[in-house]
Structure 1
């Protein structure tokens, strides 16, 4: 059987969800080892012919254009990618792997990219654009499986009262001074300052929002700043910002969209050791901070605006697309001129990013989101590529990793056993 016929057969089997594990592995290997891009182009053409046209309204097409282009052109020579002007409606000064498509072909291209990415799961529909809208609706797991995390947190009020939060509740939770605390919808918390009422200017009240392993939550602070809190994280903040600056304290990971107020700079304090901390000073900007205690590096990634990261008298000024990495052990702060911003915020967009992470880093991410413990039977020198939606049972995540790296997983209750 020729390579073309074999490719056609394997792809048809995968799209019909009737391919065996061996056939799926063969197809992935063909795509992965496609040095000259011939097989990838054949896969694109075949998928685009098979997938039905679907309306594109309501989807964030710029996001999915980028994902699709990166998946389907990651292994092609740059001159080959640049020469695909027939399908492109505009040029971009970003990575050459980003391709813009005519609007009527976008969703089909996106679906093709999704299919290539998750063929090892035998179900390309997991990465349809609708999935990106929520990370709380999960596919029902098997009996020996673990469901993904969702919107849940604990709000600790100024007097120590603890208020459990989840996706179901909505309405006003409490009134603290001139600030109302409201849960407008599942997974969100909103602080609103009222004017004209009595106020004790000498007293500052603090709240703390904590997410457990397997939890996430979003909060809008009193100044309008939006914060997305990842699993196993906490954010301490005043119920009303006063004084010369707006200061919050973070453990774990969070994505910030800071409301602009030049007269009152926004600062994030991150504890990096018993007697050490890092400060991220910003104006109006968008950035991600990853500062888990079990990670060697504290990472600040800037998407928009400007921030200054400081530690032990050393400061680094960041421009969009740059990052600052603080080594907890060596106590060194380094500036990275170019970082993968998509990787830094993959969790917020509902994905687990495999590229750029080793097995232990990926498993720490999985442990936090699925609230599981990871046990290694031996070192695993596996390498992985791609992104996986994090709203599926953990077995599906592990299955894809098994198909793209030399690793084996076994689920035992709330434990994942990892072996070569």
Structure 2
């Protein structure tokens, strides 16, 4: 296949725009191609087409198995694109053949990815397991109706005219869970694993305030007369109508707020410092240090909502804390862990054995234990 045709098909394949004939053409070409040597990968190639990068990665024993999977070979293209920056005077990229793991991971030992799971805690302290609840009306009380649709989405709505109550509900996602809710004002909230959202079943005339622990993505319904506030352990975020992501896990040293659309005002209560974010900006806060505002690609902040782990300079322990929350697993370390930075993305709906395979490119060993009620990932050099 000539180079121009190949590049066009790779681009269309990555975007999901190939016809059936074009998909067959590029996949048949790929099945026949096993390169013996691999040239260096430039930043331009990485930015232009992740799929093309995969053809320059070393051959590995999982290649043909991934080709037959439901996501075809592009699943591992994303999983394998991990760049290593060593903390020395020079930064460079290394792609190595994955090392032999400490043990063969059996089907029973593997860890399944998280699912849509959450607990709804009502004002009277009763609880509803949302993943087990049947489709339809869950609760009707004080003029508010709570409904679960066929997609599992929970929504709050006024049955008649808008009413005000003092009742507060809480949605709690466990490790290995995520969920989505539509609040009574129309605001949409996505909750990541190990998170909780506390909110009134109806908002007052002057205020819309919720409390978040963990990570959530908000699409706030616009209402000029009532600002929407998100309170976390360190900050108060105030908006009228906008899209933004808040990451505020207690176990993370850094909390961040990322603005995708509109504008937000953030008050950091420890320092009483207040800032206003513009679209595409992220504010990070560490302890009592000054707030840092940077321009980023906001899609990176909401990769979890789109079904991805996306790492941009994350160290091993930062990445593994994300894994631990999603796979509901304890992570242990043996020996010293190298000071490396991970770059790239991995599908969240893969089993742990596949998402962990990226570590082999850094000569980092892993072991999965999932038996007799014990779930562990052991990381070692």
Could you state the TM-score of these two structures normalised by the residue count of structure 2? 0.75
For residues 48 and 205 of structure 1, do their structure 2 counterparts lie closer, same or farther at Cα, with a shift above 3 Å needed?
Answer: closer
* Aligned Cα root-mean-square deviation (Å): 3.4
1:394 is the counterpart of 2:352:
yes
Q: What's 2:42 paired with?
A: 75
- The CA distance in 2 between the partners of 1:218 and 1:173, in whole Å, is 15
Match of 2:167 among 181, 189, 205: 205
* Paired residues, number: 318
Residue in 2 that maps onto 1:375: 332
Structure 2 vs 1, CA of residues 46 and 288 (structure 1 numbering), >3 Å: closer, same or farther? closer
Return the offset for 1:204: 1.1
Q: State the shift of 1:356 in Å.
A: 2.3
Note closer, same or farther for the CA distance 1:383–1:43 as it changes in structure 2 (3 Å cut): farther
Query: What is aligned with 1:146?
Result: 111
TM-score of the superposition, structure 1-length normalised? Answer: 0.68
Q: 1:165 aligns with which of 124, 127, 130?
A: 130
Distance, in Å, in 2 between the alignment partners of 1:376 and 1:117 is 28
**Are 1:289 and 2:246 counterparts?**
yes
1:113 is displaced (CA, Å) by 6.6
Corresponding position: 1:54 with 2:11: no
Q: Which of residues 255, 260, 263 is equivalent to 1:306? A: 263
| Cα distance in structure 1, aligned partners of 2:290 and 2:124 | 37
Pick the aligned partner of 1:192 from 143, 146, 157. Answer: 157
Whichever structure has more strand as a proportion of its residues is 2
Within 1, Cα distance between the matches of 2:70 and 2:245? 26
Deviation at 1:265, TM superposition (A): 0.5
Q: Distance in 1 between matches of 2:299 and 2:55?
A: 20
Quote the offset at 1:316 in angstroms: 1.1
Distance 1:408 1:281, change over 3 A: same
* Aligned positions of 1:13-24 closer than 5 A: none
The separation in 1 between residues aligned to 2:10 and 2:325, in whole angstroms, is: 37
Structure 2 residue 380 is the aligned partner of structure 1 residue 419: yes
Query: Per the alignment, in what secondary structure is the counterpart of residue 185 of structure 2?
Result: coil
- Give distance in 2, aligned partners of 1:390 and 1:333: 33
Q: 1:340 aligns with which of 287, 294, 297?
A: 297
Q: Given the superposition, is the C-alpha separation of residues 392 and 225 from structure 1 closer, same or farther in structure 2, using an over 3 Å criterion? A: same
Deviation at 1:340, TM superposition (A): 3.4
Distance 1:117 1:247, change over 3 A: farther
Q: Trace 1:205-224 onto structure 2 (pairs within 5 A).
A: 205-224=167-186
SS in 1 for 2:244: strand
Match of 1:182 in 2: 147
Superposition map of 1:78-97 within 5 A: 97=47
- Aligned-partner Cα distance in 1 for 2:109–2:146: 39
Where 2:353 maps in the other structure, the secondary structure is: helix
CA distance in 1 between counterparts of 2:119 and 2:74 reads: 28
Q: In structure 1, how many angstroms separate the alpha carbons of the residues matched to 2:194 and 2:266?
A: 23
Stretches of structure 1 that go unaligned for 5 or more consecutive residues are 1-7, 9-40, 57-72, 82-95, 100-108, 132-140, 273-277
**What is the CA deviation profile of residues 7-47 of structure 1, one whole-angstrom value per residue up to 9, with x for unaligned ones?**
x9xxxxxxxxxxxxxxxxxxxxxxxxxxxxxxxx8996497
- Rounded to whole Å, the distance in 1 between the matches of 2:208 and 2:58 is 43
Distance 2:17 2:217 in 1: 35
Question: Cα 1:146–1:48, aligned 2, differ >3 Å: closer, same or farther?
Answer: same
Q: Secondary structure at the residue paired with 2:355?
A: helix
Q: Offset of 1:285 from its aligned partner?
A: 0.7
Can you give the 5+ residue segments of structure 2 that lack an aligned partner in the other structure?
Answer: 21-39, 76-105
Secondary structure in 2 matching 1:252: strand
| Counterpart for residue 308 of structure 2 | 351
Q: Which fold has the larger relative contact order, with Cα–Cα distance below 8 Å and residues 6 or more apart in sequence? A: 2
Task: Work out whether residues 173 and 191 of structure 2, in 8 Å CA contact, stay in contact via their aligned partners in 1.
Answer: yes
Q: How far apart are 1:337 and its partner, in Å?
A: 2.8
**Within the alignment, does 1:270 sit opposite 2:223 as a pair?**
no
* C-alpha distance after superposition, 1:111-157 (max 9, x if no partner): 657777997652256656999xxxxxxxxx81111100000000001
Contact kept? 2:41, 2:53, Cα under 8 Å: no
